[in-house]
Amino acid sequence: MGIPQKRYSIVVGKNEREVCLLKGFPCKWGKCTFCDYIEDNGRDGVSMAKLNRQILDQVTGEKGALEVINSGSCFELPDETLEDISGIVREKGIGRLFLESHWMYRRRLDEMRKKMGIPIVFKIGVETFDRDFRERVLNKNADFDGPAEVAGYFDSPCLMVGIQGQTRDMIAYDIDCLKKYFKLGTVNVYNNNTTLIKRDEELVSWFMEEYAWLRQDPSVEVLYEITDFGVG
């Protein structure tokens, strides 16, 4: 994956919000077999905080909602950046914040909620609720038993569809879990990258036809390209 060229955008339509793609420290897990996104990180907290501040300075508050994305979890952003986000939230009248976190940080979510002082929609990269595929093939290091356990901590799962080895039944189960246990969710259609995990074109075609109705579902965002949120 190349270095992202665009780090600020506005999502219109479903869950309208401003989006900032920031830089953080390396993903603490960093071993997911399908992910090369973790290359967008650094170890120089000062320079990252400076860049992130420039990105956050573009936030206007016009949508009343802000999503902050980075290549790992929000807990891996520099402390100075977290303070800047908190400041932007207050200054621009942001009423809703979207953040993402790995399962390993599940017991720290309330800590972040307290720091930001506004409602947070916490996303989690579940990829699939099929535990064997998630752990054996994707190596997520997220050993939850099922969707109910995830829903006890997180608000919005991110699923991935169209990977070789996945089945139609697995995808159907994942979409059912999303709709049954969560008010919001994201479905990412897998695109080939620099990893050995490959896309299943037939499965993607089936999904896009079978689940075309998700495009009209106000609670689910389907990303056909990794840049569909306007950043990356």
Q: Hunting for tokens 């990829």 — which residue is that?
A: 127
Inform me whether the pLDDT recorded for 230 exceeds 90. no
Q: What's the sign of the alpha-carbon dihedral 70, 9, 123, 228?
A: negative
Residue 143: its pLDDT value, please? 93
For the beta sheet containing 220-223, the strands, ordered from the edge strand earlier in sequence to the opposite edge, are 8-11, 17-21, 65-69, 96-100, 120-127, 156-161, 185-189, 220-223
Q: Are 48 and 42 a contacting pair, CB within 8 Å? A: yes
Give per-residue pLDDT as tens, 21-59.
999 999 999 999 999 876 789 999 999 999 999 999 999
For each of the domains in the chain, give its residue range(s) and CATH number, in order of start.
8-223 (3.20.20.70)
Residue 231: its pLDDT value, please? 72
Residue 124: its pLDDT value, please? 98
Question: The whole model's pTM is what?
Answer: 0.93
Share of the chain above pLDDT 90, in %: 91
